[in-house]
Amino acid sequence: MVQTVVIKPKLEFAPSRQGKKYYVKTFGCQMNEHDSEKIAGIFELDGMTRANAEESADVMFINTCTIRENADDRLYGTLGQLKKWKNEGINRKLLVGGCAAQKDKQLVRERAPWVDVVIGTHNLTNIINLLNQSEDWGPITEVIDEIEELPTDAPSIRESEHSAWLTIQIGCNNSCTFCIVPSVRGPEISRRPSDIINEASELVESGIKEITLLGQNVNSYGRDLRIDNKSRPYFAQLLHKLNEIEGLERIRFTSPHPKDFKEETIYAVNTLSKVCNQIHIPLQSGSSQILAKMHRGYNKQRFIQKVDMIKNIIPDVSLTTDIIVGFPGETDDDFNDTMDIVKYVEFDSVYMFQFSPRPGTKAQDMEDNFISKDIIKQRFQYLKDVQTDISEKRLKRFVGTYQKLLIEKESKKNVEVLTGKIDSGQITHIDNKDVSIGDMVPVKITDSTPFYLKAELI
Ligand code: SF4
């Protein structure tokens, strides 16, 4: 069952839809998931309650993504099916937001004219106003280029009682050629440290034990802020401040950028008791010439230096990464450079993607250099096989160790098993006789499988 925690609302207006139900469908990344929590929070301020299924909803919000493979096809397929949903109920309202709405507002209108509201990523807090207007005047589109209000100031309905996302920054100043984020989310804007600390404290008061700091480039946090004339609130300083919050047990963060990792951040991860022993460092490719084509701002050597720096400071750190296989122009030698790094670093896990051109990105224009799908599939499978062995080996190092486990949910495959994560992020299963969801318990790791650990209470 989904549990909800309502965070104290900062938006205020008279509820006008008591008795109505909403359903939010989310595509894409954690940033979208968190935006969907805010949309749910705003809907509940307006008097609506969450529908358990699409069929019982009066208002449907589709939070779209343009990054993942076939995202556009899936979106328009979904909107096609929802035409039927809309026609089957009286006064049903269909709303579309997220990156696709920001990038392709006209296309969404043309391909799905039955959508009532198209809203961009910068003005989410205006959603009820737009919904009201659509009821009075018919379909409406509002997509703005500049941020008017940080969407982080909206209330949230969290999916979990013990873990929460906390946005510290929105947008991105980089220009990776495979990525649409800078054009749909705008330039980097950091939230004020005091707002972040206050929100974290409110979360802890409401029972949250673990927060995950969220941003497109978290470790460059604060470079756009100047608290006084001398200092800036660098990411490490933020971690220090959050670590002082009484009752907070764990701090995670995603996603950092390899080029922006500073020693002070790594020392903070190592020394601050609440910051988890896990670092995501997105490689994307191990080839210097592909990294240059991606505009990543580092080369193979520099990435290795960053990893060495991290491992020197935290030898037992868990490292995870993202890799795109088959970026335009990737030769066998380029792919071998990627595999060199995979074997050298021994990541705990790798999020792997097969390159597919995303509309609106520079990589889409590199058509002359596209790699055949067969070659991409072969390389992808090889990477997967090698990494599966590495991940399995990395999990084994925990067997026999003592850990703290935060229990998150029931296992999908076995109702007698609960699953959670240890400090360094590994999925761990435990018998449900011993613990409940939300518990933070000391455990001994008794066994490992290729994909998760098994534990018993101590
Ligand atoms: S750092 Fe690159 S991949 Fe990440 S959000 Fe910015 S442009 Fe996209």
Q: Could you report the per-residue pLDDT of 297-329, keeping only the tens digit for each?
A: 999 999 999 999 999 999 999 999 999 999 999
**Does ligand 1 have an atom closer than 6 angstroms to the CB of 36?**
no
Q: CB of 11 within 8 A of CB of 42?
A: yes
Please tell me the predicted confidence (pLDDT) of residue 229: 55
∠ CA 279-322-455, nearest 5°, is 55
For 281-311, give the DSSP string.
---B-S-HHHHHHHT-S--HHHHHHHHHHHH
Which residues touch 276 (CB under 8 Å, ≥6 apart)? 250, 251, 252, 269, 423, 424, 425
In a domain, 153, yes or no: no
pLDDT (tens digit, 9 = 90+) per residue, 346-357?
Answer: 999 999 999 988
Identify the band that residue 181 occupies on the pLDDT scale cut at 50, 70 and 90.
Answer: confident
Print the domain residue range for 432: 402-457
In a domain, 341, yes or no: yes
CA of 179 to the centre of ligand 1 (A): 6
In a domain, 155, yes or no: no
Same domain, 354 and 263: no
Of the listed ranges 55-64, 306-315, 358-367, 396-405, the least confidently predicted one is 358-367
- Phi and psi at 83, nearest 5°, equal -60, -40
Q: Is the peptide bond before 411 cis (omega within 30 degrees of 0)?
A: no
Q: CB of 327 within 8 A of CB of 363?
A: yes
Please tell me the predicted confidence (pLDDT) of residue 226: 65
Mutate to test the pocket of ligand 1, among 29, 68, 103, 172 (most ligand atoms within 8 A of CB): 172
Indicate the residue among 110, 142, 174 that finishes a domain. Answer: 142
Same domain, 305 and 359: yes
Same domain, 173 and 199: yes
399 is written with which tokens? Answer: 């067997």
Please tell me the predicted confidence (pLDDT) of residue 13: 65
CA of 172 to the centre of ligand 1 (A): 6
Q: What is the 3-state secondary structure (H, E, C) of 132-198?
A: HHHHHHCCEEECCCCCCCCHHHCCCEECCCCEEEEECEECCCCCCCCCCHHHHHCCCEECCHHHHHH
Please tell me the predicted confidence (pLDDT) of residue 357: 87
Same domain, 319 and 305: yes
Average pLDDT over residues 407-412: 90
Identify the band that residue 2 occupies on the pLDDT scale cut at 50, 70 and 90.
Answer: very low
In a domain, 150, yes or no: no
∠ CA 328-351-370, nearest 5°, is 10
Q: Which residue has the tokens 């495959």?
A: 413
Q: Whose CA is nearest to atom 1 of ligand 1?
A: 174
Mutate to test the pocket of ligand 1, among 169, 179, 189 (most ligand atoms within 8 A of CB): 179
Same domain, 83 and 191: no
Average pLDDT over residues 191-219: 93
Identify the band that residue 124 occupies on the pLDDT scale cut at 50, 70 and 90.
Answer: confident
Of the listed ranges 118-132, 147-161, 303-317, the least confidently predicted one is 147-161
- Residue 284 CA: which ligand 1 atom is closest? 3
Identify the band that residue 12 occupies on the pLDDT scale cut at 50, 70 and 90.
Answer: low
229 is written with which tokens? Answer: 């004339």
**CATH number of the domain within which 75 lies:** 3.40.50.12160
**Does ligand 1 have an atom closer than 6 angstroms to the CB of 179?**
yes
Cα gap 260→276, rounded to integer Å: 19
- Phi and psi at 216, nearest 5°, equal -75, -20
Identify the band that residue 9 occupies on the pLDDT scale cut at 50, 70 and 90.
Answer: very low
Of the listed ranges 12-16, 367-371, 426-430, 442-446, the least confidently predicted one is 12-16
Count up the domains in the chain and report the number: 4
Residue 6 pLDDT > 60, yes or no? no
Length of the chain: 458
Q: CB of 307 within 8 A of CB of 274?
A: no
Residue 72 pLDDT > 80, yes or no? no
- Residue 257 CA: which ligand 1 atom is closest? 1
Same domain, 384 and 409: no
In a domain, 207, yes or no: yes
Percent helix, strand and coil across the chain, each rounded to 5? 40, 20, 40
Residue of 345 and 37 predicted with greater confidence: 345
Please tell me the predicted confidence (pLDDT) of residue 147: 60
Same domain, 225 and 345: no
- Phi and psi at 380, nearest 5°, equal -60, -45
Percent of the chain exceeding pLDDT 90 equals: 66
Nearest to 6 by CA among 60, 57, 43, 61: 43
CA of 176 to the centre of ligand 1 (A): 6
pLDDT (tens digit, 9 = 90+) per residue, 27-65?
Answer: 888 888 888 988 998 999 899 999 999 999 999 999 988
- Phi and psi at 411, nearest 5°, equal -65, 140
CA of 322 to the centre of ligand 1 (A): 12
Mutate to test the pocket of ligand 1, among 29, 174, 189 (most ligand atoms within 8 A of CB): 174
In a domain, 102, yes or no: yes
Please tell me the predicted confidence (pLDDT) of residue 180: 85
**CATH number of the domain within which 234 lies:** 3.30.750.210
pTM above 0.85, yes or no: no
**CATH number of the domain within which 292 lies:** 3.30.750.200
Q: CB of 9 within 8 A of CB of 41?
A: yes
Same domain, 325 and 350: yes
Cα gap 193→237, rounded to integer Å: 9
Of the listed ranges 41-50, 268-277, 389-398, the least confidently predicted one is 41-50
**CATH number of the domain within which 411 lies:** 2.40.50.140
Same domain, 369 and 406: no
Average pLDDT over residues 381-402: 97
Same domain, 18 and 130: yes
Residue 1 pLDDT > 80, yes or no? no
Please tell me the predicted confidence (pLDDT) of residue 328: 97
In a domain, 347, yes or no: yes
Q: Which residue has the tokens 């043309």?
A: 110
CA of 324 to the centre of ligand 1 (A): 13
Same domain, 214 and 326: no
Same domain, 222 and 193: yes
Indicate the residue among 276, 294, 310 that finishes a domain. Answer: 276
Indicate the residue among 212, 242, 276 that finishes a domain. Answer: 276
In a domain, 311, yes or no: yes
